[in-house]
Amino acid sequence: MTRSGLAALVLSAVAAASAAQQPASEPAEPIRIVGPIYFVGTQDLGIYLIATKAGHVLIDGAMPGSAPLVEASIRKLGFKPEDIRVLLITQAHFDHVGTLAHFKKATGAQVAVMAPDDALVKSAGKTDYLFSGQTRFAFDPVTADRVLKDGDVVEVGGVKLAARLTPGHTRGTTTWTTSVEDGGRSYNVVFAGSTSVNPGTRLVRNPSYPRIADDYRRSFRLLESLTPDIFLGAHVGFFDMDAKRARAAAAGVQAWVDPEGWKRHVAESKAAFEALVAREQQPPS
C-alpha cells in the first residue's frame, strides 16, 4: 500500500470515529428495509426496529434527549413504541445508548447487553476506557436485565438474533446476525458493531486496555467469516444508506442487498486499523 493510501485509510478511520462525537440529532425519514426490519434512526445514527406480532425489538438508541425523534419515526411507520419488548445495543457509547434508560422506563422492555458493556451502561459511561471522566459523553445509567455472552440468542416473535462479540471499539461491542423472510426469500442480515478506532485510543504503546489490538483482530476475523446479504450499521455512513435509500424507491429490498459492500467495509476497516497500529509502532521522531 502506498503512503498516500495508508494516510487516506487512517483519515477515514478517524473521520468515522469522530462522527460519534458530533451532534447526531437531526431526524431522518424512517423506512422499511427488509421483512420486519425498519430504520428509525437519525441522519447519522443507525437505529432499527424489528416489528413482530409478539412485540418489537429496538437495536441501539441515539443521543441523550433524542427519544422523541425515535418515537416519532416508530409511530410514522404505524407501530407503537409501547410495544417494544427488548432493547439491544451494538456498543455502550452515549450516541448509541443515550435513550436506553428512557425506553426501558417507558416500555418496561428487557435490556439485553453483552458483557462487559453491561458494566459500562450501568456506570453511565464512567468506566469507559477512553471517555471516562468526560461528562459530555455521559448518559443515564441502565442495569441490564440479561447479560449476554458471545453466541447467545435473543428471540421475539419468531425472529432470532445472535449476539456476536466484536470487541475493540468498546470491550463489549456486539454485532447482531439474523435471518428474515421477504417476498418468499430468506435474507441474512448483519447489524454491525463499530470497528473504527476513536481518536485518542492507544493500540500498542501503553494500550488503552490490555490486548485491545488483539480484540480488534479477533473482531475482524469474525466479521470476515460472515456472509450477509444485507448489512446495516451503528452509523449510516458505514453502509452507504443514503444511496441505498434512494435506490430502494424503485428496487425495493434489492437495493439493500450488498454482499460485496460488506467485504469492502470489513477490509477497509481492518486496513485502517492496521495502519494505525503501524503508525504507533514507528519509533519516536
Domains of the chain: which residue ranges?
3-14+25-281
Residue 133 confidence (pLDDT): 86
Report the C-alpha gap between 88 and 141 in whole angstroms. Answer: 15
DSSP code of residue 170: S
Q: For 70-95, write each residue's pLDDT tens digit.
A: 999 999 999 999 999 999 999 999 99
pLDDT score, position 69:
96
| pLDDT tens, per residue, the chain with 285 residues | 443 343 334 334 433 444 444 447 899 999 999 999 999 999 999 999 999 999 999 999 999 999 999 999 999 999 999 999 999 999 999 999 999 999 999 999 999 999 999 999 999 999 999 999 899 999 999 999 999 999 999 999 999 999 999 999 999 999 999 999 999 999 999 999 999 999 999 999 999 999 999 999 999 999 999 999 999 999 999 999 999 999 999 999 999 999 999 999 999 999 999 999 999 999 876
Show the cell assigned to 38.
425498519
> What pLDDT score was predicted for residue 6?
38
What pLDDT score does 19 carry? Answer: 42
Residue 203: per-residue pLDDT: 98
How much is the pLDDT for 15? 39
pLDDT (0 to 100) of residue 22: 45
Count CB neighbours of 30 within 10 A.
20
Give SS3 for 266.
helix
Helix (H) or strand (E) holding 193: none
Please name which of 167, 168, 164 lies closest in space to residue 191, comparing C-alpha atoms.
Answer: 164
Q: What is the pLDDT of residue 7?
A: 37
The Cα 176–Cα 159 span in angstroms is 12
Residues facing residue 50 across a β-bridge: 37, 57
Cβ contact 38:60 at 8 Å: no
pTM > 0.85: yes
Predicted local distance difference test score (pLDDT) of residue 268: 97
What is the DSSP code (8-state) at residue 144? -
Residues composing the chain: 285
Check residue 14 and give its pLDDT.
38
Which residues are paired to 191 by β-bridges?
176, 232
Phi-psi region of 133 (alpha: psi -120 to 50; beta: other; left: phi over 0): left
How far apart, in whole angstroms, are the C-alpha atoms of residue 66 and residue 69? 6
> Please, which residues bridge with residue 160 across strands?
155
- Report in angstroms the alpha-carbon separations of 38 from 56, 73, 159, 262: 11, 10, 14, 19
**For residue 268, how many other CB atoms are within 10 A of its CB?**
17
d(CA 203, CA 282): 13
Contacts of residue 256, defined as CB under 8 A and 6 or more positions apart, other chains included, come to: 33, 34, 230, 244, 248
* Backbone conformation region of residue 60, classed left if phi is above 0, alpha if psi is from -120 to 50, else beta: left
CATH H-level superfamily of 3-14+25-281: Ribonuclease Z/Hydroxyacylglutathione hydrolase-like (3.60.15.10)
SS3 for 135? helix
The pLDDT of residue 25 = 81
